[in-house]
Each structure stands twice: as structure tokens, then as C-alpha cells.
Chain A
Amino acid sequence: MLVIDEYLAVRVLVGARPEELPDVEALVLTAYRHYRLLQRIHQPGTGQLSRLLADSDQQAIRRPHPEILQILDPRPLLDEAAAIGARYSAAGLLVGETIAAGLTYGHQLWFGTQRNVGTRLAQIADDLRIAIHVADPG
């Protein structure tokens, strides 16, 4: 099981999986990262994807097929996420859950761009010996 970010989740859904992503059985996106993607569909604004994407495209993002992309149940990770938030100066749900997922699933996290890693997440991951991999489109 490999924990990936929003960028890689979208690339996997559209069939543009980066070559460097290991060939594993399951690719997973944390619930709050899925929530961030869903906000791009539901929030009004100039970048609102629901105006730009067909219903079938939206459905693929809203309810991913588990064979292609799984959404992690956040409940088993919440205690660890809260502990991380408390230890590392209120890291927030997104970072806490991502780090908890990295600790639980293989001590590695995969991102589609360095910018989406974030300074705080990178520092905590380094402290907890979680490897950060970036499959940048270059």
C-alpha cells in the first residue's frame, strides 16, 4: 500500500501514472487530501471543476474505483494524527493524518510536486524517518 497525494491521485485516475511509482497492489489517498480534491469540485469560484468537467469525470474523482485508487478510512489514524498535532505545534488535520498514514503504511509518502509537500510536513517526516518521494512531472 502506497500513500500518495492529490496530484498523483489525479494522474493515476487519468491513466498517467508516473513510471517511478512502485508497482504495488493499492494506491491510497488520505481522507482529508480527498476532501481537498472534492473542494475543487464543490467550491464556487473561477476554478470550480464542476463547471469544467463532465459528470463522469467528476464521479471518478468523487467516488474513485478502489481497484485504481482507495480512500483511507481516517478513523484508525485519528489518534496518531492528534498526537502528531499536539507534539508538533498544532500541525493540522491534513499534515497529521498524512504523517500518521506514512507511519502506518510503509514509512513513505509520495507526492506529485515538491510544492505540495509543505515545509512543516517535510520537517515532521524527516524527524519520524518517513521517506518523502516526489514524482515531479519535470
Chain B
Amino acid sequence: MGAMTIGEELLEERRRRLRAGDPRITSEGRELLLRMTTGDLMEDFQAALDADLAADPALGGHDIDEDA
């Protein structure tokens, strides 16, 4: 296999940075955010997202029939 070009190296570094996520995220934050989006807190997270829509008709929309 041939050596990588400078461009390929830069793109590979960029790809690695993207896959690593934001370095500002702490390990404790990462754990909590993963529980919310892939683990045991998903139900709570989705309930909160759904509640936002229910509380805000402009955001969540409504059936025109309801206006009648």
C-alpha cells in the first residue's frame, strides 16, 4: 500500500476529529447524554421533546379542523 498524500493525511485527520466528537464534552456529560439518546433515559428525553410540541402549537402544529 502506498504512502498517503498530504491531502489524504489532512482529510484523515479531519475525519478522526469528526468521529471523536466535540472535545468540550466531559466524560460525565458524555455518559449522561448517551443514556438520554441510546440508553435508559431515552423515554424521559422523548417525553420532554414531545411536551415541547404539545405546549407550543406554532412549533408542533395543529389540525385546521380543530379551529372550526
The answer to whether A and B belong to the same complex is yes
Interface size class of B (residues with CB under 8 A): 35 or more
A-B contact count (CB 8 A): 120
Chain B contact residues, majority secondary structure: helix
Q: B39 — which chain A residues lie within 8 A by C-beta?
A: 137
Q: B22 — which chain A residues lie within 8 A by C-beta?
A: 13-15, 60, 64-65, 68-69
Contact of B21 among A16, A39, A85, A120 (CB under 8 A): A16
- Complex CA distance for A54 and B29, rounded to whole angstroms: 7
Chain A contact residues, majority secondary structure: helix
Binding site for A on B (CB under 8 A): 14-15, 17-22, 24-26, 28-30, 32-34, 36-39, 42, 44-46, 48-49, 52-53, 57-65
Binding site for B on A (CB under 8 A): 6-7, 10-17, 23, 32, 35-36, 39-40, 45, 47, 49, 52-54, 56-57, 59-60, 64-65, 67-69, 85, 89-96, 112-113, 115-116, 120, 137
